[in-house]
Amino acid sequence: MDKNLILRDLPGMDRLLQEDGVRKAAAEAVLSEIRAEILAGEIAAVPPYAEILKLVRSTAPTGLKRVINATGVVLHTNLGRAPLAARAADAVARAAAGYSDLEFDLKTGERGSRLSELRAKLRALTNAEDALAVNNNAAAVLLALSALCAGREVVVSRGELVEIGGSFRVPEVIAQGGARLREVGATNAVNIADYANAISDETAALLKVHTSNYRILGYTKEVSVAELAELAKNRGLPLIYDLGGGSLVDIGFEPKVQEIVAQGADIVCFSGDKLLGGPQAGIILGRADLIEKCRKHPLYRALRLDKLSLAALCATLEIYENLEQAGREIPVLSMLTASPAEILQKARDLLALVSPQAQKRLEIVETSAQAGGGSLPGAEFPSYALALREPAQLKQALRTREIPIIARVHRDMLLLDLRTIDPDDFTEIATALGELL
Ligand SMILES: *Cc1c(COP(=O)(O)O)cnc(C)c1O
């Protein structure tokens, strides 16, 4: 039969679009696929309408695709860093789908502040005088420098002039903030006298930057936050600390944000979606007069947090009001703090779900997981993985599935690291391994 005649049986776009749950992009994709199959002679007739409709409805939306992170890197920058806690994700969905009291005071019926609840929560959790949140930590640092240091000098250790990734380089951010960089010390060593000698009438602030994604081994010297804070106070200057990933709980590698505040840093900036385990955001904590300057700076309006991130951040911070709960509910924390024994048990549970013939080719091996996201460089998190000896094609096959599974290859073994795998995904992974092995 003439292919063009067969094509006439294809349902029209209009008809499909009148059905519930049909997206235009999905309908177009399915229709063009069927058209191509007919023209290629792969099928001799248009499938029944009900079948086409089912296909259209089940075609996943374009945009961000959910993936399973089996890399063992908890804050994987390429995979979206921190997954939100369920409660935070619910808060986002509610804020997204309806109206909210974003800038409305329900008690007085007047205009309110979008930040008041967030401020109260951050102050209670960190003992900082005041707090502000913007779109990400890069924005937080840029805003603090612009509002507090423009036109004057910022004193920074040479060893802290880091590049975080993308185009975030400390010297360039200082220049973008309209300030001048005054470097002190050497790459590997700086002492308090270096800072003291660099202070002049031109100085606006001392800046400390967490070196996040790199570490110098061997002979190194740096100045503690407490010492820098004392110097800053004596000279009437603010100490600004770009902490990178700040944590509110003890994860065994880094001081907590509360401790940095207590040690006297006047402004502390950190990311919402690194160790905090919340949405992309930049949090600025510190002295009320300095935070007020940040809030009043014109850049604040350009960098401010949107309502979805605000909803997620408030919900995440609410979980921290009970620290034990935070350890369980915040995915980043539960992944980072899981014990090797718990992870080994997860590995056994996953292996038990895999088909017997696939099981024969898999083994459980010890691995080393990472925090990622430029946090805790060099810190190793003992972990376990399901391992396969011949990794080559499987890595790609797992990655190109309907729900992609992202594995890593190490020493000729394909590893599915259990530290970052959610048990809710075990069935999906077991099915994939059963089909592929
Ligand atoms: C990650 C990081 C940043 C950038 O934070 P984003 O939230 O990714 O914008 C800035 N400074 C330091 C020290 C960092 O580690």
Residue 271 CB–ligand 1 contact under 6 Å: yes
Task: Check: CB of residue 175 under 8 Å from CB of residue 193.
Answer: no
Among residues 49, 45, 48, which one has the least CA distance to residue 19? Answer: 49
Percent of the chain with pLDDT over 90: 78
Quote the mean pLDDT of the chain: 93
Q: Is 143 in the pocket of ligand 1 (CB under 6 A)?
A: no
Average pLDDT in the 59-66 region? 78
Express as a percent the part of the chain with pLDDT over 70: 99
Cβ-based neighbours of 112, under 8 Å, separated by 6 or more: 101, 103, 104, 105, 106
Contact 436, 429 (CB under 8 A): no
pLDDT in tens, 166-225: 788 999 999 999 999 999 999 999 999 999 999 999 999 999 999 988 888 899 999 999
The pTM is what?
Answer: 0.88
Indicate the top mutation candidate among 135, 142, 169, 212 to test ligand 1's pocket, ranked by most ligand atoms within 8 A of CB: 212
Going from the Cα of 214 to the center of ligand 1, the distance in angstroms, rounded, reads 13
Query: Which DSSP symbol is given to 250?
Result: -
Other beta carbons within 10 Å of 99: 7
Report how far residue 194's alpha carbon sits from residue 180's, in angstroms, rounded to the nearest whole number: 17
Count Cβ atoms below 10 Å from residue 200 Cβ, excluding itself.
11
Cβ contacts of residue 302 below 8 Å, gap of 6+? none
Region of residue 343 (left: phi > 0; alpha: psi -120 to 50; beta: else) = alpha
Instruction: Domain 86-329: give its CATH architecture.
Output: 3-Layer(aba) Sandwich (3.40)
Whether 209 lines ligand 1, by a CB cut-off of 6 Å, is yes
Question: What is the CA(141)–ligand 1 centre distance, in A?
Answer: 9
Q: What is d(CA 148, CA 138) in angstroms, rounded to the nearest whole number?
A: 15
Ligand 1 binding pocket includes 168 (Cβ within 6 Å): yes
**How far does residue 246's CA lie from ligand 1's centre (Å)?**
10
Contact 39, 399 (CB under 8 A): no
Residue-wise pLDDT tens digits, 331-356: 999 999 999 999 999 999 999 999 99
Whose C-alpha lies nearest to ligand 1, atom 5? 137
User: Can you tell me the mean pLDDT for 302-312?
Assistant: 97
The contacts of residue 396 (CB under 8 Å, 6+ apart) are none
For residue 240, give the amino acid letter.
I
Using CA atoms, how far residue 111 sits from 34, 114, 303, 370, in Å, is 54, 9, 21, 45
Tokens of 203: 């100085």
Nearest CA to ligand 1 atom 8: 137
Contact 184, 198 (CB under 8 A): yes
Q: Which atom of ligand 1 is nearest to the CA of 273?
A: 7
Q: Are 389 and 411 in contact (CB under 8 A)?
A: no
Sign of CA dihedral 302, 303, 304, 307: positive
Residue identifier of the C-alpha nearest atom 13 of ligand 1? 244
Compute, in angstroms, the gap from residue 128 CA to the centroid of ligand 1: 20
Pair of tokens at residue 352: 């038990």
Q: How far is the CA of 232 from the centre of ligand 1 (A)?
A: 23
- Ligand 1: does its nearest atom lie under 6 Å from the Cβ of 374? yes
| d(CA 137, ligand 1 centre) in Å | 5
Residue whose CA is at the smallest distance from ligand 1 atom 7: 137
For the chain, which residues make up each domain, given as ranges? Answer: 3-58, 68-80+332-436, 86-329
Q: Which of 408, 398, 407 is nearest to 428 (CA)?
A: 398
List, for residues 70-92, the tens digit of each pLDDT value: 999 999 999 999 999 999 999 99
**379-408 average pLDDT score:** 89
Q: Hey, what are 256's tokens?
A: 């907590």
CA distances (Å), 147 to each of 199, 237, 401, in order? 19, 14, 48
State how far the Cα of 301 lies from the Cα of 363, in Å rounded to an integer: 53
The CA 68 to ligand 1 mean position distance, Å, reads 24
Residue type, 321: E
pLDDT at site 391 = 67
- Any idea which residue has 């997204």 for tokens? 96
Distance 212 CA to ligand 1 centre (A): 8
Strands 408-410 and 362-372: unpaired
* Token pair 């399973």 in the structure block, residue: 68
Q: Does domain 68-80+332-436 have CATH number 3.90.1150.180?
A: yes
210 lines ligand 1 (CB under 6 A): yes
* Residues facing 408 on adjacent strands: 415
Highest mean pLDDT among 2-11, 99-108, 305-314, 399-408: 305-314
pLDDT in tens, 220-273: 999 999 999 999 999 999 999 999 999 999 988 889 999 999 999 999 999 999
Does any ligand 1 atom lie closer than 6 A to the CB of residue 137?
yes
The strand ranges marked E within 307-391 are 362-372, 381-388
Q: Ligand 1 in contact with 34 (CB < 6 A)?
A: no
Taking only the tens place, the pLDDT of each residue in 420-431 is 999 999 999 999
User: Considering only CA atoms, which residue is closest to atom 6 of ligand 1?
Assistant: 137
135 lines ligand 1 (CB under 6 A): no
Residues 6+ apart with CB under 8 A from 66: 403
CA of residue 399 to ligand 1 center, whole Å: 28
Under a CB-based contact definition with an 8 Å cutoff, are residues 212 and 162 in contact?
A: yes
